C-alpha cells in the first residue's frame, strides 16, 4: 500500500523558518505538523553579509560567511530530518514548498555582495534559502517553489476554489489546531497545498 504523500510548506526568515506539513485526508488538506525551526546555531551571526562582514578584511569576511553557510545547511538538514522522523508514521514527505529565491544565486564573494545594495539586502535571505534546498536534496526530498505572494492563488487553483474560500479555510484551521497559527503558518500551508495540488486529489467545496 502506497504511503501518503506529504509536503512541508516553508516560510523562511533570516536564521529561522516555519514548517507546516500537509497531507490529503479524504480529499481535504490536513495539517499534520507545524513547527518553528532554527536555521543557525547559537553564537553564529544570522545576517553576516549585511552586518558582521562590514569592516572585516577579505579573508575573515569569507571565512565568516562560510561558517554561517555550513551552520545553516547543518541546521536545515537537522530540522528536516527531525520532521521526517516525527511524521514518518503518517506518510512520506515528498517535497518542501517555499518561495522562489530572492537572488538567482548566492554572491560569489562577500565583496560582490557589498558592491550592490539590492544584492546585499537579499544575500542573507538567499543564504538560508540555499541551505534549505541543499538540505532537502541531501535527504532525497524534492523542492517546489512559488513566486512570493502567489501561493494562495496557486493553492486555490489546485483545490478548485476561490482565493477567498481558501483564505477562509486557512483562517479556520486555527480553531481546530489552536495557536500558534499566524500569517507564516498560513503562508506555509498554502505553499504545501499548492504543491500537493490535484495530484493528491485535494478538493474543497466552494
How are beta strands 28-38 and 16-25 bridged, if at all? Answer: antiparallel
pLDDT (tens digit per residue) in 79-124? 999 999 999 999 999 999 999 999 999 999 999 999 999 999 999 9
Higher pLDDT, 2 or 162: 162
| pLDDT recorded at residue 197 | 82
Query: Hey, where are the domains in the chain?
Result: 5-200
Contact between 10 and 21 under an 8 Å Cβ cutoff? The reply is no
Alpha-carbon distances, residue 169 vs 17, 48, 70, 164, 175 (angstroms): 22, 39, 38, 9, 11
Query: Residue 26 — very low, low, confident or very high, per pLDDT cuts 50/70/90?
Result: confident
Is the pLDDT confidence value at 1 over 60? no
CA gap 119, 140 in Å, rounded: 30
What pLDDT score does 28 carry? 85
- C-alpha distance from residue 114 to each of 13, 104, 124 (Å): 20, 16, 12
Helix (H, G, I), strand (E, B) or coil at 133: helix
What is the Cα–Cα distance from 170 to 192, expressed in whole angstroms? 12
* Mean pLDDT, residues 5-16: 97
From residue 52, alpha-carbon distances to 67, 112, 123, 132 in Å are: 12, 15, 13, 22
Average pLDDT across the chain, whole number: 94
Position 200 pLDDT exceeds 70: no
CATH architecture designation of domain 5-200: 2-Layer Sandwich (3.30)
Each residue of 153-190: pLDDT tens digit?
A: 999 998 889 999 999 999 999 999 999 999 999 999 99
| Model confidence band, residue 24 (pLDDT cutoffs 50, 70, 90) | confident
pTM of the model: 0.94
- Distance between CA atoms of residues 63 and 33, nearest Å: 36
205 contact partners, CB below 8 Å, separation of at least 6: 161
Distance, in Å, from the CA atom of 129 to the CA atom of 73, rounded to the nearest integer, reads 10
Average pLDDT of 62-88?
97
- Residue 48's pLDDT is 97
User: Considering just the CA atoms, what is the radius of gyration of the chain in Å?
Assistant: 18
Amino acid at each position: 500500500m502506497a504511503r501518503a504523500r506529504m509536503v512541508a510548506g516553508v516560510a523562511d526568515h533570516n536564521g529561522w523558518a516555519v514548517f507546516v506539513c500537509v497531507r490529503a485526508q479524504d480529499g481535504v488538506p490536513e495539517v499534520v505538523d507545524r513547527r518553528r525551526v532554527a536555521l543557525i546555531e547559537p553564537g553564529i551571526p544570522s545576517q553576516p553579509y549585511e552586518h558582521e562582514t562590514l569592516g572585516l578584511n577579505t579573508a575573515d569576511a569569507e571565512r565568516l560567511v562560510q561558517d554561517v553557510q555550513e551552520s545553516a545547511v547543518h541546521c536545515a538538514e537537522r530540522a528536516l530530518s527531525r520532521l521526517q522522523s516525527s511524521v514518518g508514521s503518517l506518510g512520506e514527505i515528498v517535497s518542501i514548498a517555499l518561495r522562489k529565491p530572492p537572488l538567482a544565486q548566492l554572491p560569489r564573494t562577500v565583496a560582490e555582495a557589498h558592491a550592490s545594495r539590492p544584492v546585499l539586502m537579499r544575500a542573507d535571505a538567499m543564504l538560508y534559502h540555499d541551505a534549505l534546498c541543499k538540505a532537502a536534496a541531501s535527504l532525497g526530498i524534492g523542492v517546489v517553489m512559488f513566486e512570493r505572494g502567489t501561493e494562495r492563488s496557486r493553492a486555490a487553483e489546485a483545490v478548485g476554489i476561490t482565493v477567498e474560500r481558501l483564505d477562509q479555510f486557512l483562517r479556520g484551521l486555527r480553531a481546530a489546531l489552536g495557536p500558534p497559527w499566524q500569517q507564516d503558518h498560513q503562508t506555509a500551508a498554502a505553499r504545501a497545498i499548492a504543491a500537493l495540488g490535484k495530484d493528491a486529489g485535494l478538493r474543497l467545496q466552494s
